[in-house]
Structure 1
Amino acid sequence: MATLPLLSVFALLFWQSAVQAQDNLALRRALAGPDRDVLDFMRDEVRRPAEVLSFLGISSGMTVLDGYAAGGYYTFILSKAVGPDGTVYAQNTTRGLRFKEDRQDITQGEALASKIRDGGLNNVRQLIGPLGELDLAAESVDTIM
């Protein structure tokens, strides 16, 4: 009789590992996808997005707040990681949206809007205002980045 609970635990652990491997594979495909900004590819070596999202436990279906999303580097990645059943809130201040993006020809607000539009990021919602003044219900996000 003791083997049945033990087998159940092993089955659950195996299933969880398979789901995490699927999420990781989907994330790696998204990072290598043709719809990513070439400048974001160049940032990957330093920012190590797969490792960061793994450390934070980001997975499909989660709701994530991307605090000070700036030009959307992590917004794009988070959107792909949480998938169509998840949500990403991309927060910026009005002042922050006016800052020039690294490439200097567009603002961070324009870069973020472009990533959302061109990347088909239908699960991203922009929030404009200071973090402390956002209109989000308590405990409505799984994690904040």
Structure 2
Amino acid sequence: MRKYNRKILTALVMAYKKGLINIKPLNRWISIKQNLYHILKYFIYIALFVLMILLIEFNLLPDLHLDSNIYLGKIFISRARIIKGINYGFIVLNLYQLSKYLLQVYYVRWTMRHYDMNSNNIEILNRVTYKITV
């Protein structure tokens, strides 16, 4: 996911409100279809990793030999714990990406609602785009 911070999102909304760009760059955050697609994508990833953890927990994957131990350093660790730890990491990563996307959606919609199309808002666009460093 590209880095979209508040300054860039505000500049996109203000450029749209001024008529400099069309709505296509903002469809990612405004369109309900796009929102549902991204939210369902992250929830499906989370559900798949939770399913994998449940399969490991109830030992329903006997071909992977998850009951055997691996020697790491001075301790033995079961393969099931290592794979479950990796799955927990992916779940946390997907939750982070989902929350980041939802914050971007909230901020774009808030900006669209609170900034009007008056000509005196052009100073806001100049101030925001001046501060963006690439």
TM above 0.5: no
Point out which structure has higher relative CO (alpha carbons under 8 A, 6+ apart). Answer: 2
Greater helix fraction, Structure 1 or Structure 2: 2
TM-score (normalizing by structure 1): 0.28
TM-score (normalizing by structure 2): 0.29
Greater strand fraction, Structure 1 or Structure 2: 1
Please tell me whether Structure 1 or Structure 2 has the larger radius of gyration of its CA atoms: 2
